[in-house]
Structure 1
């Protein structure tokens, strides 16, 4: 009987040992490669939002200190930045220096804007460590045919060591080849994250199977009159962050949008400006924002969005303003 018990115990021990060594239980290495695109599948896991369907935790933010979003590349990006489209020369430099003092750490430029040198100068002289700042630039379609040269030109003009995020400005001939040039720059440490701008569901569906690194972010026109609800849902489900340009309506349309009666009523109820209501609406929808301004008072407003929250009813009221009204051709 004793021998039988000993034999049984030894058999159990061997079974447990084999189970512990099973390769299926070992951690598996994963890479940032493009998965099979499944728009109708379950969403890619993302941080739990505090309200609505955002991809980030707004409770972590403070006025002047927005929270960050973990991109699929593994790098953190602030969810509020300063757009620099119309800023040039000393106006651009001074706008960035003022924004840094107010807590901005993310700045958006592009080769097409013609101000990469000014942005780089401000980044180098602002008094904040380079590693604490996040700079995005973009390649324009007329650069796609020789993207490696264009990447080097942007790096030279910025002169800040590396680019945190580089995007294709919008679809165009040779966009896949240009994106692959950016992939090589990632491998060489010149760029940390890459993505695209002005790509929608069809464009992204066609694009993803052709590249190796999934875009970390797509930057599109988004505002209350052009909300892209299905595009936002699609990008979130596929683990791609979405950022809105023209968040306040864009050139020639901002005043009318800020004067919208529904937005004005919500602003009055919270004791906030209409711009703050719109920008908070973006954040609660999981949309990163890059409003542009050289006015320090407006900059302060635009980064002070964390001492109030829009109710579900207020979010629905703004959602009802969608007109599918695009304000630029991209």
Structure 2
């Protein structure tokens, strides 16, 4: 709730920071499905803790969970939890992030696999995501790379190369949400660890 007693005497104003009412929001989204206004509902950037909480009261499971996922941040536990519960995973930032300081296009393992397969590093990274059973939404402003990133079907990364990509050790988010969500003076998320439920 808003930090301050006056919250109870007036509606919230712009700038007020409120706790997220997950159950209330999800019930409203379920109504949209029940009223045939949408076909499916999903979540984004969930942790295991948030997913388990949601599944404890949801009458309609999320059909998809969108999250950052690439060889440098495999997020294996969340992927397995989603698979176990029949929730499709969509990987965003499958190429890493230039803004986040980790552009996987130039990772030596990715480059080696790309050369071996005569593919671009971007194609290898998107194909890696698909072979894990996820969909991927790569971002590019370069029209040639956009066309290239679509050509990821009809071939596979061999198992030994797939495992090499799965063995990249850094395992760190490149988009951690700090700028958007951390408010150290007046918010429910005082640190990145709070955002991600101390699961990293």
TM-score by length of 1: 0.46
Aligned partners of 2:100 and 2:175 also within 8 Å? no
Deviations for 1:114-156, whole angstroms, at most 9, x for unmatched residues?
xxxxxxxxxxxxxxxxxxxxxxxxxxxxxxx9xxxxxxxxxxx
**Distance in 2 between the 1:236 and 1:253 partners?**
28
Name the SS of the counterpart of 2:165 in structure 1: helix
Match of 1:206 in 2: 53
Matches within 5 A, 1:216-295: 216-253=63-100, 256-295=103-142
4+ residue runs over 6 A deviation: none
Match of 2:15 in 1: none
Give the deviation of 1:250 after TM superposition: 2.3
Unpaired runs of at least 5, structure 1: 1-144, 146-171
Aligned partners of 1:270 and 1:308 also within 8 Å? no
Give the deviation of 1:221 after TM superposition: 0.8
Aligned partners of 1:249 and 1:257 also within 8 Å? yes
Deviations for 1:145-181, whole angstroms, at most 9, x for unmatched residues?
9xxxxxxxxxxxxxxxxxxxxxxxxxx6112211111
Unpaired runs of at least 5, structure 2: 1-10, 12-18, 178-200
Aligned partners of 2:70 and 2:96 also within 8 Å? yes
Distance 1:260 1:301, change over 3 A: same
Match of 2:167 in 1: 320
**Distance in 1 between the 2:149 and 2:25 partners?**
33
TM-score by length of 2: 0.74
Name the SS of the counterpart of 1:191 in structure 2: coil
Distance 1:246 1:254, change over 3 A: farther
**Distance in 2 between the 1:221 and 1:262 partners?**
20
Distance 1:255 1:221, change over 3 A: closer
Matches within 5 A, 1:129-148: none
**Distance in 1 between the 2:26 and 2:95 partners?**
29
Q: Does 1:187 align with 2:34?
A: yes
Aligned partners of 1:248 and 1:254 also within 8 Å? no
Give the deviation of 1:223 after TM superposition: 1.1
Name the SS of the counterpart of 1:231 in structure 2: helix
Matches within 5 A, 1:2-41: none
Name the SS of the counterpart of 1:225 in structure 2: coil
RMSD: 1.8
Aligned partners of 2:90 and 2:134 also within 8 Å? yes
Matches within 5 A, 1:154-169: none
Matches within 5 A, 1:109-120: none
**Distance in 2 between the 1:226 and 1:290 partners?**
15
Distance 1:266 1:288, change over 3 A: same
| Number of residue pairs matched by the alignment | 160
Matches within 5 A, 1:88-103: none
